[in-house]
Structure 1
Amino acid sequence: MKATIETQGRQFIVTEGDVIFVNRYKDSQAGDTVTLDKVLCVGQGADTRFGAPYVEGANVAATILENKRDKKVVIHKMHRRMGYRRTTGHRQELSVIKIESINA
């Protein structure tokens, strides 16, 4: 069974057993269980149900495998002939979650 979920402003198409990377959930530890109740679409084939905007009574249970940081993104700023050069960086905080079950 497939489900289209929305979490933290992003949409994912998931099935049971999928591992996805999302923005870090605050105050979460590895091993915690997360229930995602913003399900936009659930089912497969002719048995698909669509929500308006969310399917009532449907949710997805997921387990947090780890919290980590993504690769560094380097930002360069420069104004030519002005002697202005700046280099900064950013590392996004991520949670790696595994989809355990889809309840429709």
Structure 2
Amino acid sequence: MAYAIMELGGRQWKVEPGTQVEINRLPSAVGATHTVDRVLLAHDGTRVRVGRPYLQGAQVVCEILAHRLGPKTISYHFRRRENWRKTVGHRQPLTRLLIKDIVFSEAPSAEKPTAMRKTRKERGDGA
């Protein structure tokens, strides 16, 4: 069972192929394919890969199913003792995505192991 944790719209989503998620509105048209490169973690059924912060070569392929408005939230504003009231409503524009596939490429990692910092005793600084 493959899954991935991707970052999209300022949030992190755990997705699997065939699932649907609703995110903040994307500027693409309905029916278009959207590819997400910001994959934080991926599991292909046998191995877990963790990015630092993102995985190189991992992508989540999505299809845009619909654009819609979320539920209405109503807020009230008033000023005390002035007979002044105002009602404001808001509906967040959303996009529904269908997760088509999680793609892994076996590109070699370009990361070099980082050396640990030496302590003061090893450097000869101070006591």
TM more than 0.5: yes
Alpha-carbon distance in structure 1 between the residues aligned to 2:29 and 2:58: 25
Instruction: Give the unaligned 5+ runs of structure 1.
Output: none
Q: Which runs of structure 2 are paired with 1:85-104 in the superposition (5 Å)?
A: 85-104=85-104
* Higher strand residue share: 1
Give how far 1:85 is off. Answer: 1.1
Cα RMSD for the two superposed structures: 1.4
**Greater relative CO (CA pairs within 8 A, separation 6+):** 1
Instruction: Give the unaligned 5+ runs of structure 2.
Output: 105-127
Output the TM-score relative to the length of structure 1: 0.92
Quick one: percent identity of the two aligned structures?
37
Aligned position for 1:11:
12
Instruction: Give the number of the structure whose alpha-carbon radius of gyration is greater.
Output: 2
Aligned position for 1:23:
24
Deviates more, 1:76-85 or 1:2-11: 76-85
Deviates more, 1:48-57 or 1:37-46: 37-46
2:32 equivalent to 1:32: yes
Output the TM-score relative to the length of structure 2: 0.76
- 1:6-49 CA distance string (max 9 Å, x none): 011111001000100011111x2211000000000000676111
